[in-house]
């Protein structure tokens, strides 16, 4: 196994050679289509250089290194602002799930390498208009159709569905049993007849999310992932991963050093804000919090390398990291006064406080809304009793709509 410090040095050297062509400055002013094309080229170059699939098994086209090596690389990569956002969901949730659960390993290897090279994009079709964060409450129908299946219904908030080639999806295959037991999990071709993705703008004008409609979409039984009626278990495994992917210690916003530099430049009562005790206290609190979250994340990767499932601590990581980002962004905007309201549509959430603050609501929904995460923390970490659930054990079709 390559030493982490040695690996960091090699990664940093390679990334520095890529910054001019693919980094933040090279992306300024590009259209979404141009940025995606640049991202695909960057992903291919990254794979050829041996930095794609760092902790994925060699048999699937990865490097077979540890999760800590992956974290080291991505920490360095994020600082330069490469166009990787289009591929994060693919490599974060769908690809690990098909590697674990799909039986056709040759097909899986093709999909993994294509995703690592940026040639194919996956999306995750979970949320629905009527279900919110209650994944077990979804109404998308999966009906058996000869030797296969037929999908009908709608999904919502699906990131990059309009760009995706494939998706993972959970649907209700049996409404006559309690809601957690009647779900089945599939992969779906997003170019199949009957699939329609409609993208829409978010508050920060980013076009990322979609509503997706399924009208008699045909699936083979070979597209089923896991047992019939066992979809909630596979979905839970997906969410456990997502809450770490969506729980970057900085909440995918500006870093603590970025805020420190900002506080040195902006004035509070005629002096640099960094000299004010309240500002220094906020820095210290957020620094301690984010380092604790990094420890939780590192522990989760070590567990996965040991063949264990990541624990419910991902809920804590995701919840706290995005809240930290929101509070720090609010503080930075307040410190600038009226000037803090200026909005730069070309700025990213890692380098601009207004962009960061505007995109926080999306982060607080992705991977489970705050209320769902608080329930998970209460029940599965603190061991508190469950909330009263009147639909528990009731067949889904008997629950009042």
Catalytic (active-site) positions:
242
Contact between 94 and 124 under an 8 Å Cβ cutoff? The reply is yes
Give the separation between CA 57 and CA 99, rounded to whole angstroms.
9
| Cα–Cα distance list, 391 to 372, 380, 400 (Å) | 16, 20, 9
Question: How far, in whole angstroms, is CA 320 from its chain's centroid?
Answer: 15
Report residue 224 as tokens: 């089923």
Question: How far, in whole angstroms, is CA 395 from its chain's centroid?
Answer: 32
Give the separation between CA 265 and CA 272, rounded to whole angstroms.
6
Helices (H), 231-344: 231-245, 256-265, 277-305, 313-335
Contacts with 76 (C-beta within 8 Å, 6 or more apart), sequence order: 8, 11, 12, 15
Name the strand (E) or helix (H) holding 4: helix 4-22
Per-residue DSSP letter, 180: T
Per-residue DSSP letter, 173: S
Q: At 347, phi and psi to the nearest 5?
A: -80, 150
Contacts with 156 (C-beta within 8 Å, 6 or more apart), sequence order: 127, 128, 129, 209, 210, 211, 212
Four-residue CA torsion sign, 311, 315, 318, 324:
negative
CA angle 19, 23, 25 (to 5 degrees): 110
State the DSSP string of 64-120.
---HHHHHHHHHHHHHHT-S-GGGHHHHHTHHHHHHHH-S-HHHHHHHHHHHHTTS-
Contact between 61 and 48 under an 8 Å Cβ cutoff? The reply is no
């Amino acid at each position: 196994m390559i030493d982490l410090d040695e690996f960091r040095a090699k990664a940093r050297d390679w990334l520095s050679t890529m910054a001019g062509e693919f980094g933040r400055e090279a992306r300024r002013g590009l259209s979404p289509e141009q940025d995606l094309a640049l991202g695909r080229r960057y992903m291919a170059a990254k794979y050829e250089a041996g930095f794609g699939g760092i902790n994925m098994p060699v048999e699937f086209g990865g490097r077979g290194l540890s999760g800590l090596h992956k974290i080291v690389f991505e920490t360095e990569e994020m600082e330069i602002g490469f166009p990787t956002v289009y591929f994060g969901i693919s490599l974060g949730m769908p690809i690990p799930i098909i590697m674990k659960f799909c039986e056709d390993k040759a097909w899986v290897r093709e999909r993994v390498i294509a995703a690592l090279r940026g040639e194919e994009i996956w999306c995750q079709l979970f949320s629905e208009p009527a279900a919110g964060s209650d994944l077990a409450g979804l109404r998308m129908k999966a009906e058996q159709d000869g030797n296969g299946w037929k999908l009908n219904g709608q999904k919502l908030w699906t990131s990059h569905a309009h760009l995706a080639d494939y998706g993972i999806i959970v649907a209700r295959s049996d409404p006559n049993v309690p809601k957690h037991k009647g779900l089945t999990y599939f992969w779906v071709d997003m170019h199949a007849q009957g699939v329609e993705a409609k993208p829409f703008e978010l508050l920060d004008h980013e076009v990322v999310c979609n509503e997706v409609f399924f009208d008699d979409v045909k699936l083979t039984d070979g597209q089923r992932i896991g047992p019939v009626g066992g979809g909630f278990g596979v979905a839970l495994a997906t969410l456990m991963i997502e809450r770490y992917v969506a729980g970057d210690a900085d909440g995918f916003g500006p870093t603590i050093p970025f805020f420190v530099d900002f506080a040195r430049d902006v004035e509070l009562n005629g002096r640099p804000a960094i000299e004010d005790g309240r500002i220094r206290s906020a820095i210290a609190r957020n620094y301690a919090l984010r380092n604790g979250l990094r420890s939780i994340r590192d522990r989760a990767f070590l567990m996965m390398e040991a063949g264990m499932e990541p624990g419910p601590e991902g809920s804590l990581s995701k919840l706290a990291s995005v809240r930290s980002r929101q509070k720090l962004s609010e503080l930075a905007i307040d410190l600038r006064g009226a000037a803090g309201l200026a909005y730069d549509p070309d700025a990213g959430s890692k380098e601009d406080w207004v962009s960061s603050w505007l995109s926080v609501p999306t982060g607080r929904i992705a991977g489970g809304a705050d209320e769902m995460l608080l329930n998970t923390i209460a029940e599965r970490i603190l061991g508190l009793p469950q909330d009263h659930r009147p639909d528990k054990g009731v067949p889904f079709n008997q629950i009042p709509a």
